[in-house]
A and B are shown apart, each in its own frame.
Chain A
Amino acid sequence: MTTHTCDCEKLAGQNQADEAELYKQLDTIIEKHKNVRGPLIQVLHAAQGLFGYLPEKAQVKIAQGLDVPLSEVHGVLSFYSFFTTVPRGKHTVRVCMGTACYVRGGKQVLEKFQKELGIGVNDTTEDREFSLEINRCVGACGLAPVVTVDSDIYRRVKEDKIPGIIEKYKNGAGK
């Protein structure tokens, strides 16, 4: 079963829009958040939704637009494992390594994904289909171990279910 949580990943699907158009959208996002208190994380979140990652140029634009030092923009995004500064695959698999998921087999689930996808944590498959990340608790410990793929949530994941999950997203399926 899947649960819809947030549409930022869906936006990533529109990456084909040309770059100038994306930066125009980023300007609008920055403008909207300018007078909000503590806007940086929200803007970074939206920007990653636009580009699929946070290119340096977007970081600079955000620093300029929100009038915060570039060091702070980079420092904040480096703190959260959600943010990435390198292009990612079309689909992002995040295996929860929070305490509950870990004790209920999260580590074995992660190893299975690494084996099936042939990549390590924070890497992207050569065909740019999948990126693999770990997560520090998604707040659904009752469902442990939890895996998210894009904005879909998989609960009580067992190793033998993993090839099926991957298959679902291959070649544009799944969305």
Chain B
Amino acid sequence: MEQINVTIDGIQVSVPKDSTVLDAANAAGIYIPTLCHMPGHKPLGACRVCLVEIEGGRGALQASCSFPATDGMVVRTNTRRVHNARKAVVELMLSAHRQDCNACNRTLNCELQAIAKRLGIRENRFEGEMPKRIEDTSSPAIVRDSSKCILCRRCVEVCQNVQTVGTLFAVDRGFDTVIAPTAKKELAEAVCVACGQCVSACPVGALYEKNHIDRVWDAIADPDKHVIVQTAPAVRVAIGEEFGLPAGSRVTRKMVAGLRRVGFDKVFDTDFTADLTILEEGHEFLNRLTNGGVLPMLTSCSPGWINFIEYFYPELLPNLSTCKSPQQMFGALAKTYYAEKMGVDPSKIYSVSIMPCTAKKLEAGREEMSVVDGLSDVDAVLTTREAAQMMREAGVDFVNLPDEPFDEPLGISTGAAVIFGATGGVMEAALRTVYEVVTGQTLENVNFEAVRGLEGVKEATVKVGDIEAKVAVASGLSNARKLMDLVMEGKADYHFIEIMCCPGGCLGGGGQPIPTTDEIRKARMQAIYAEDEGLPIRKSHDNPAIKALYEEFLGEPNSHKAHKLLHTHYTPKALWPTDVPLDEVKSK
């Protein structure tokens, strides 16, 4: 690529020809504050915080995130005029922002707050009328609070372009502008998959998860309740970030210790039922393959993906594995197998999960997710952020906690389970088991590198005995859409497809510590595979607790009992308003 020379605050840098002024400043090591800008996305140019002076030109200050750099350009970022303009932009934002910062869930991790501090804002110069507040708590997963929104449109960008769902858009104009679903409907009435990527993208406290912390404290305080917790694979490689540790810190056993300090009676592992998922889903796959079942089979672990396919590709619901997600398998076993084993009345068991995910809150509330009449399989779902918050409230000194193991038996798991937290992990774990089940031989190299990494769509052909299994993996719903379009057009000859709703898989989920960037995704991913390498058992079917579960309780994979407890069904959802009399309902 052709290079150009740009001078910024006296520093000359050489940058590729299509760079913006912001890119050039980054290359020169000069900090420019931004709010609407997201690296890796096309510039939005909405917030105007990144103003700079360009020598010559028309004299106007320019938004560096979207202003193209040209050869010989001279830029100044550190002038009185720039300071004053940026300050005024942020002060105007603050004038329409409900500044009850102490009561805000993003306090001390708020980009607006950080920029206000950085720019030295010490007073509210523009006090006046505030826009009408819309507080939308209708969704079981995500809360919108317009009084915090700075209209940066980062949520719109990820919802529309990364996830291709398009729930949110700017409605109305000027002072009345609000980021909202179609016709300012509530989130619960809108087409929303609850993935929480908008929450992850939000620089302020305008979008956040539905709080489950209080109900969990209530349960812990109730002497009648036996409160158990399961932790998803991706949580252990991210929760350290909430306590100032670098991304990719492996803190599995500190997390267990922290949860004990919070007051959970038993600390179990979703990895246990991730292993179980492999047994159930692996056998379902082999069954479909040998008995002419519907192929390609699609994985069903990711609840945001389940919502997406129910809305956008209902024709492909028969392709979805009938397996419940590991969270829901765990919940089902907690109130049956575990209750029996412990001799505890299932109604006294309060089952909590810690998930990197907001959609898991919605999933836990689906009415079919109840194996014991009148009881939810999973009673509360905490995001990684909420779990960290409970530890803070409990006075846990996370960084200095000792290492403690999970409780048995629902805390025993393998390396195949922990990689569920990264895109490609379910596929890799399934291949490890399917290979040995089909061939009866030991798989020596368990690492399937072809399905690893952050790439949006990955493909591989794997020889499993006589079968050439063609598999594909996608993460992020725009990538899922590419694969589903191929399947719909009959242009895909895959046998098995893994889909994860969030880019990078669960490690980049909407419930993870904020921020999540590609760099952070990579660090968490490395940690996941290091966890796998470090475990003595790396194949799900070798998990002794899973073997015992089948022997004592379930019989064999896909048995009648397994089906009753561990499998589910799906329902098409209306993508278009149902009160509109359309001649034909098209799906997209």
Contact = CB atoms under 8 A, between A and B. Distances in A.
B588 A74 contact: no
B120 interface: no
B173 A70 contact: no
B172 interface: yes
Given A78-B171, A79-B173, A69 B576 contact: no
The prevalent SS among residues of B at the interface is loop
A70 B189 CA distance: 13
Interface stretch (A8-16, A44-52, A56-64, A116-124): A56-64
Contacts of B576: 60, 63-64, 70
A72 B170 CA distance: 8
B170 A75 contact: yes
Contact of A72 (B160, B190, B582): B160
B182 A74 contact: yes
A71 B581 contact: no
Interface in A29-68: 56-57, 60-61, 63-64, 67-68
Interface in A143-164: none
Contact of B169 (A61, A67, A75): A75
B166 A74 contact: no
A70 B182 contact: yes
B181 interface: yes
Interface string B171-191: 111000000011100000011
A69 B580 contact: no
A124 to B, nearest CB: 20
B582 A74 contact: no
A71 B173 contact: no
Interface residues of B, number: 24
Contact of B586 (A64, A68, A75): A64
Contacts, number: 56
A68 B580 CA distance: 18
B180 to A, nearest CB: 8
Given A70-B576, A72-B166, A78 B160 contact: no
Contacts of B56: none
Most chain B beta-carbon neighbours within 10 Å: one of A23, A61, A71, A75:
A71
B166 A70 contact: yes
Contacts of A64: 576, 586, 588
Given A74-B169, A75-B171, A67 B588 contact: yes
A128 B477 CA distance: 46
B167 interface: yes
Given A60-B577, A70-B576, A78-B171, 16 more contacts: A23-B583, A57-B580, A60-B580, A61-B582, A69-B160, A69-B167, A70-B182, A70-B191, A70-B577, A72-B160, A73-B182, A74-B169, A74-B171, A75-B169, A75-B170, A78-B173
Interface of A: 23, 56-57, 60-61, 63-64, 67-75, 78-81
Interface of B: 160, 165-173, 181-183, 190-191, 576-577, 579-583, 586, 588
26 contacts: A56-B579, A57-B581, A57-B582, A60-B576, A60-B577, A61-B582, A64-B586, A67-B588, A68-B166, A69-B165, A69-B166, A69-B167, A69-B169, A69-B182, A70-B191, A71-B167, A71-B169, A73-B182, A74-B171, A74-B182, A74-B183, A75-B169, A75-B170, A78-B171, A78-B172, A79-B170
